[in-house]
């Protein structure tokens, strides 16, 4: 099958820095001395003030007309400087024009020709680049320039899918330079598509012809990678070990050994190798990262921290690493250190909203709610964290406002005023996006204040919102019920039943409500609850309601039967169910079991009011007091 060699990969081989050098020539052209490029071109003018075409035309004319070599030299320097600037800004269409003119003005300069060809390739004019390369007499150039341009020619062939042509060029280079590591690796990569065995042979031959340990290690490593591709783990491990022995600083070979050891369940051996390596090379980023990853994957955050901290020391300008360090600090409850790490991230301007959101969450863990609010306020409207941060901000402001004030003034406290002012500001800032959430938050505030009338009012204001679901309808009904507006509460629930006759929770709600407020009409309550049970016979809440109904009817045996079913279906830790069981057993005369369930009820009580209810049920006899008291 034909292999499509993407242009990107061919360029990668040519323009990236590799084991021996960067591909950019170390040798400047004979006419343009890089070190002297700070001198401005005399009367060259600015490209910004005219089109590139006009500017280049002007420079070409000035160069051809000038008899002054000093002026010509400066024109070349200015063209080169501007061309490389465009190249650095990835404006290859413009750099191509400048280097093209430079090659016309100095046609024998291979460095400029290389620049021009690279601009053509980067700009997509690969065929044009190949024509120029094929017309050149590369053998006439010096060794470095010839090798570099021949590699470029091979890469262009690869980009065009002419792998045979690329192989021919690489082979030609290797005849004259058999130990050239870059060419060996590229030729091996090309051969791998046909025969991995032959690719390995190319690398081994190159390895034998190299004397420098650094190069030999790299070739051994590449050989190990090819054996790994073949699934020959023992051979791969052998060459990775050889690579590490030849040049221990090449820690990727050690990392590769770790991968194989992991595959063969020799984790402890891997850890020992890595830690011993760090004793000799404590600043090795790769191995520190591997150890950190190992411990994080196993949730051993304390063990991971030293390696993460080392990574930050080695790479202090990488915000992603600082984020990870903050995460680890949070996992080990070092919240102050996590916050400090995030504060160092923010000046980078990378994922700032994420940092503030994370920071706000950390302040919450420290119970520093006002600081958390300030962090959440920094998150911008267009951020993906905005909505969640505003909801948390509103919840925090509500909790702060609900803290009992020492002031005996009749008016609202400062925190309460701030709460409502902030909610209005959030509502305005969000431009309608958070109207629903603001309404729900207000209703929860008024509920906590036992102002059920205002809670219901806040819900009524958002009742027509698309997010107002059945839970919100139940909540609204409960607020009316607590405000003794039973007709309004019933109307809401009956409308829910009308809209959905199979709404078991609605039947349960109104049935339980009737038990509590109209104990003289238990038959009506029974109709609703039996309907609910028929729709959801295993629903724990409905079973509790039926059990409570039977309790109220004096049928304690049936009450216990249904209450135990509720208990067994997931409400074993529920205050109400345990209370109902205790009351039923008390009526049955089983004080020991009654005491047990009252005890459980107290354990799961969430308010002083609930605890007081149980104390009243127990009575004044200390012997009947639950053990938990």
User: pLDDT for 354-363, tens place per residue?
Assistant: 999 999 999 9
Q: What is the pTM of this model?
A: 0.70
The range of the structural domain enclosing residue 395 comes to 352-403+413-433
Q: Is residue 305 part of a domain?
A: no
Residue-level pLDDT at 29: 41
pLDDT in tens, 169-195: 888 888 888 888 988 999 999 898 889
For the residues 204-211, what does the mean pLDDT come to? Answer: 92
Residue-level pLDDT at 139: 65
DSSP 8-state assignment for residue 47:
G
For the residues 183-209, what does the mean pLDDT come to? Answer: 91
DSSP 8-state assignment for residue 139:
G
CA dist., res. 42 & res. 45, Å (int): 8
Q: How confident is the model at residue 130 (pLDDT cuts 50, 70, 90)?
A: confident
| 575-401-365 Cα angle (round to 5) | 70
Check whether 289 has a pLDDT greater than 70.
Answer: yes
Q: Is residue 477 part of a domain?
A: no
Residue-level pLDDT at 465: 95
Check whether 5 has a pLDDT greater than 60.
Answer: no
Give the total number of structural domains in the chain.
2
Check whether 28 has a pLDDT greater than 90.
Answer: no
Q: Is residue 428 part of a domain?
A: yes
Task: Confirm if 362 and 338 have CB atoms less than 8 A apart.
Answer: yes
Q: Is residue 214 part of a domain?
A: no
Tokens of 524: 């009506």
pLDDT in tens, 591-620: 999 999 999 999 999 888 889 999 988 876
Q: Which of 285-289, 303-307, 419-423, 518-522 has the lowest mean pLDDT?
A: 518-522
Q: Nearest-CA neighbor of 500 among 475, 479, 473?
A: 473
Q: How confident is the model at residue 621 (pLDDT cuts 50, 70, 90)?
A: low
Q: Is residue 370 part of a domain?
A: yes
For the residues 57-61, what does the mean pLDDT come to? Answer: 91
Q: Is residue 626 part of a domain?
A: yes
Computed on alpha carbons and rounded to an integer, the radius of gyration of the chain in Å comes to: 39
To the nearest whole number, what is the mean pLDDT of the chain?
86
DSSP 8-state assignment for residue 20:
S
Task: Confirm if 92 and 119 have CB atoms less than 8 A apart.
Answer: yes
């Amino acid at each position: 099958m034909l292999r499509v060699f993407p242009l990107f990969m061919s360029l990668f081989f040519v323009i990236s820095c590799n084991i021996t050098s960067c591909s950019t020539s170390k040798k400047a052209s004979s006419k343009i001395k890089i070190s002297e490029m700070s001198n401005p071109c005399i009367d060259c003018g600015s490209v910004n003030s005219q089109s590139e075409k006009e500017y280049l035309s002007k420079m070409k004319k000035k160069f051809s007309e000038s008899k002054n070599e000093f002026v010509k030299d400066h024109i070349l320097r200015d063209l080169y400087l501007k061309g490389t600037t465009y190249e650095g800004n990835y404006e290859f269409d413009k750099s191509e024009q400048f280097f093209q003119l430079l090659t016309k003005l100095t046609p024998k300069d291979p460095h400029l020709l290389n620049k021009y060809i690279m601009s053509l390739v980067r700009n997509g004019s690969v065929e044009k680049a190949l024509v120029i390369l094929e017309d050149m007499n590369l053998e006439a150039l010096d060794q470095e320039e010839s090798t570099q341009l021949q590699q470029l020619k091979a890469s262009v062939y690869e980009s065009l899918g002419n792998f045979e042509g690329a192989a021919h060029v690489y082979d030609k280079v290797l005849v004259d330079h058999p130990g050239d590591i870059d060419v060996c690796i590229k030729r091996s990569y090309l051969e791998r598509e046909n025969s991995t065995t032959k690719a390995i042979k190319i690398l081994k031959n190159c390895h034998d012809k190299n004397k420098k340990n650094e190069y030999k290690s790299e070739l051994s490593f590449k050989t190990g990678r090819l054996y790994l591709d073949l699934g020959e783990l023992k051979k791969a491990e052998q060459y990775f070990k050889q690579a590490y022995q030849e040049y221990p600083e090449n820690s990727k070979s050690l990392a590769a050994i770790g991968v194989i050891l992991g595959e063969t369940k020799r984790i402890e051996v891997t850890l020992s190798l890595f830690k011993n390596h760090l004793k000799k090379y404590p600043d090795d980023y790769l191995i520190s990262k591997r150890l950190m990853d190992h411990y994080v994957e196993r949730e051993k955050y304390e063990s991971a921290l030293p390696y993460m901290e080392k990574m930050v020391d080695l790479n202090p300008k990488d915000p992603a690493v600082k984020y990870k360090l903050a995460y680890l600090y949070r996992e080990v409850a070092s919240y102050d250190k996590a916050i400090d790490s995030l504060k160092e991230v923010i000046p980078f301007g990378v994922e700032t909203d994420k940092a503030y959101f994370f920071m706000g969450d950390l302040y919450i863990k420290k119970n520093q709610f006002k600081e958390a609010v300030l962090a959440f306020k920094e998150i911008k409207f267009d951020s993906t964290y905005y909505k969640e941060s505003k909801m948390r901000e509103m919840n925090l402001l509500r909790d702060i406002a609900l803290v009992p004030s020492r002031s005996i003034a009749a008016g609202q406290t400062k925190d309460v005023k701030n709460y409502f002012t902030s909610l209005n500001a959030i509502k305005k800032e969000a431009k309608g996006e958070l109207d629903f959430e603001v309404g729900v938050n207000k209703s929860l505030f008024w509920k906590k204040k036992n102002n059920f009338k205002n809670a219901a009012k806040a819900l009524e204001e958002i009742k027509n919102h698309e997010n107002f679901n059945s839970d919100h309808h139940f909540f609204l009904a409960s607020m009316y019920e607590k405000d003794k507006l039973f007709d309004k509460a019933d109307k809401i629930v009956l409308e829910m039943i009308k809209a959905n006759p199979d709404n078991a929770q609605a039947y349960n709600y109104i049935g339980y409500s009737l038990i509590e407020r109209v104990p003289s009409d238990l038959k009506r309550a029974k109709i609703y609850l039996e309907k609910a049970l028929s729709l959801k016979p295993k629903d724990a809440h409905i079973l509790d309601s039926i059990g409570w109904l039977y309790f109220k009817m004096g049928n304690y045996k049936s009450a216990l039967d249904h209450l135990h079913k509720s208990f067994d279906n997931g409400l074993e830790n529920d205050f109400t169910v345990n209370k109902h069981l205790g009351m039923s057993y008390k009526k049955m005369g089983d004080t020991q079991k009654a005491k047990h369930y009252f005890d459980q009820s107290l354990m799961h009580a969430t308010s002083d009011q609930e605890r007081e209810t149980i104390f009243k049920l127990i009575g004044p006899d200390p012997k009947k007091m639950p053990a938990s008291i």
